[in-house]
Amino acid sequence: MKFLGNKAAVMPLMAITATLALGVPQAGAQGLFEMLFGGGIRHAPQGEFPPPPPKHKPKIPAGGGGVKISGPSYYTYKADRLVRIDFSALTAAPQPAAPQDAAFVPSATGAAFRDAIASLSDYELYAEPDIAKALIAYYSANPDFIWVSGTSLNSRAQDAVRVLGEAASYGLTPADYAVDVPAADSSTADAAARLKDLVRFEMALSARVLRYAHDAQNGRVEPNRMTGYYDFPAKPLDLQGALKTLAHTQEVRTYLESRHPQNPEYQALRVELEALQASAENEIVVDPKLLLKPGETSPELPKLLMLIARNLDDEMGGAYGEVLSRLATSEVYVPELVPVIKAVQQKAGMKGDGVIGPRTVASLAGTSKADRLLKVEVALEELRWLPSDLGSPRVFINQPAFTASYIDNGEEKLKTRVVVGRTTNQTAFFYDQIKQVDFHPYWGVPQSIIVNEMLPRLRSDPGYLDRAGYEVTDSRGNRIPSSAVNWGAYGANIPYSVRQQPSEANALGELKILFPNKHAIYMHDTPQKSFFKQDMRALSHGCVRLQDPRGMAAAVLGTSVDYIAEKLKHGHSTENVTRKIPVYVAYFTAWPDMSGKVEYFGDVYDRDSRLKQALDATEAVRSPSS
């Protein structure tokens, strides 16, 4: 990317400050705009530019009015249909149907296998298209059993069947990997019938083992097909290679379990899943959507008061024990109870406003067992989309938790509050690598914001960008006055770029941390510090605002906060990050802390239910399979 350097020191606070407190219309943050001026964005925080147009609507020329740039959408997930495996390539040819594997050495059961495959002509086995293809290719080049020795199942088969049967411990569905296991060998059994059962078992187990290996490594759904907000690279799996490995190892369990993510977070979620599966439902269940203000009435209130009273410590008991005892059965949220609720909220790290809402309920009653199970199963699925080794050092942003952490050598060196995209301007879920820190950055205004939010004002007041400290350039990079542009002539395709100069009121604050990606999302400072005091911080146009930007910049650059402060004294500049530091812009409503304790968060974008729909669609496709 091209960055503009050699600019003067930071501009003084300008008249634009007056605009910061004014609201702006919500708009999609995913435009077609190329990244501007040092990683300019398609997303931007809210409230950083002049107010919306006056109520009178100027006349809009034909062809240019009412055009909007919309963001990504969600799709109804459709799983790939299973195909019937065509065994004719194996059964029709007296010789291997594909060049025989050079490493293949037939065993004593090789001749029996070649005799047995004739019975596959009428066998109906369904699998995913890539698995069906890999199965035929492998057995064409390696015409022998993997799972059968003589007339019995071998130890490899026994281990594989056990692992597949334990799929629920990983949040997977055991029925997806079930196979009909032939009865133990009997000397009185018909030899031909026995061989037929064995070869069918062979093919079914290979197909289900490959499904398991794929699901463990990649997940059961293709996340990028769910929504444009998901962006994950492919994780190739050599299916034929997997069967070759399994044919030559006695460590079947080790191999299959190694397909799962190998990080402490995945293991902590598995432990939580096991505990939940063995636990009873919450003793006291409170409506998770309860909203109760002082003076209002609800039958849910006594339940909350009981939970508070049951968990009183000495300090809280001394201050509020008498009030709770006297009003334990009150369904009216009387003034005497307000200080109790405020104290409970503050103890839980929330703003003590005295309003009982979902976050207060969750802190006291937790979420139901069913909700927690779904969150953990969803989290396990989502972790399969990420690298098995998350890397160290790394930056981990968890959007539902509204936090960003710098983690190095298993230690959380920094944790800071963040602001993420509003529900109408959602932050994407992806991972990348941190490249550089920009000090006193320019803000390249995304085209979606120019079109959706600035253009209506510009049509009636073409010079307001000049007055507010923005620069306008044409397609050749020449700077021109905003007032000289006939903004009314354009719709969604505006041949001009707009950027905000560095200043105390710049939308990006004093620095930004870049990890170039097609969503043009990055971490940055903000002049709107008050947002960090709120519990629900889905308030931006999509980028990630940091409460402690200097601390995060120092962490990724491997330096001190004092060094960052000194850099900021010298105006606009950039500094490259010389280490490999992955950054995860993640979305987990269940996530373990560094001690392994799983915490639960609200589903701010309602993504868990959409993933559940995709998983259900996958199950619906798989359920008729044999």
DSSP string spanning 323-340?
Answer: HHHHTTT--B--GGGHHH
Q: Report if residue 372 sits inside a domain.
A: no
Give the number of domains in the chain: 3
Q: Are 407 and 523 in contact (CB under 8 A)?
A: no
Residue tagged 């698995």 (tokens): 131
Residue tagged 């490999």 (tokens): 580
Q: Are 204 and 179 in contact (CB under 8 A)?
A: yes
Residues 30 and 96 in one domain: no
Angle at 400 between CA 79 and CA 516, to 5 degrees: 75
Angle at 176 between CA 171 and CA 177, to 5 degrees: 100
pLDDT at 601: 92
Residues 402 and 349 in one domain: no
Q: Report if residue 620 sits inside a domain.
A: no
Residue 164 vs residues 83, 127, 515, 625: alpha-carbon distances, Å: 21, 16, 39, 16
Residues 497 and 447 in one domain: yes
Q: Phi and psi at residue 241, in whole multiples of 5°?
A: -60, -35
Identify the domain boundary among 365, 382, 403: 365
Q: Report if residue 180 sits inside a domain.
A: yes
Q: Are 448 and 27 in contact (CB under 8 A)?
A: yes
pLDDT at 187: 58
Can you read off the two tokens belonging to residue 476? 């050749």
Residues 172 and 141 in one domain: yes
Can you read off the two tokens belonging to residue 412? 């959380």
**pLDDT > 90 fraction of the chain, expressed in percent and rounded:** 62
Q: Is the pLDDT of residue 330 over 70?
A: yes
Would you call 480 helix, strand, or coil by DSSP? strand
Distance CA 200, CA 120 (A): 7
pLDDT at 66: 59
Condensed to tens digits (0 to 9), the pLDDT of residues 472-502 reads 998 888 899 989 898 888 888 888 889 888 8
Q: Please name the residues in contact with 326: beta carbons below 8 A apart, sequence gap of 6 or more.
A: none
- Find the helix packing angle between 129-141 and 239-247, rounded to 10°: 50
- Rg, C-alpha atoms of the chain: 30
Residues 542 and 512 in one domain: yes
Distance CA 215, CA 424 (A): 32
Q: Is the pLDDT of residue 105 over 90?
A: no
Q: Report if residue 295 sits inside a domain.
A: no
Q: Is the pLDDT of residue 10 over 80?
A: no
Q: Phi and psi at residue 297, in whole multiples of 5°?
A: -125, 140
Q: How confident is the model at residue 188 (pLDDT cuts 50, 70, 90)?
A: low
Residues 457 and 585 in one domain: yes
Would you call 396 helix, strand, or coil by DSSP? strand
Domain that holds residue 194: 83-220+233-262
Residue tagged 């990080």 (tokens): 263
Q: What phi-psi label fits residue 155: left (phi over 0), alpha (psi between -120 and 50 degrees) or beta?
A: alpha
Residues 502 and 405 in one domain: yes
Q: How confident is the model at residue 96 (pLDDT cuts 50, 70, 90)?
A: very low
What number of other Cβ atoms are within 10 A of residue 479's Cβ? Answer: 10
Q: Report if residue 523 sits inside a domain.
A: yes
The residues assigned a catalytic role are 524, 543
Distance CA 586, CA 424 (A): 18
Angle at 204 between CA 198 and CA 210, to 5 degrees: 135
Question: Which residue type sits at 260?
Answer: H
Q: Is the pLDDT of residue 467 over 70?
A: yes
Distance CA 27, CA 105 (A): 63
Residues 427 and 492 in one domain: yes
Q: What integer is the mean pLDDT of 320-342?
A: 93
Distance CA 4, CA 38 (A): 6
Q: Report if residue 279 sits inside a domain.
A: no
Q: Is the pLDDT of residue 5 over 90?
A: no
Is omega for the bond preceding 58 within 30 degrees of 0, making it cis?
no
Residues 87 and 69 in one domain: no
Condensed to tens digits (0 to 9), the pLDDT of residues 260-281 reads 999 999 999 999 999 999 987 7
Q: Report if residue 149 sits inside a domain.
A: yes
Residues 194 and 135 in one domain: yes
Q: How confident is the model at residue 333 (pLDDT cuts 50, 70, 90)?
A: very high
Residue tagged 């411990």 (tokens): 169
Residues 95 and 66 in one domain: no
- Under DSSP, the state recorded for 116 is H
Q: Please name the residues in contact with 131: beta carbons below 8 A apart, sequence gap of 6 or more.
A: 207, 210, 211, 214, 239
Q: Report if residue 519 sits inside a domain.
A: yes
Identify the domain boundary among 365, 384, 414: 365
Distance CA 422, CA 236 (A): 34
User: Any idea which of 19-23, 146-150, 153-157, 578-582 has the lowest mean pLDDT?
Assistant: 19-23
Residues 461 and 587 in one domain: yes
Q: What integer is the mean pLDDT of 302-307?
A: 91
pLDDT at 108: 56
Pick the closest to residue 422 from 323, 542, 312 (CA basis). Answer: 542
What pairing do the DSSP bridges indicate for beta strands 573-576 and 544-546? unpaired
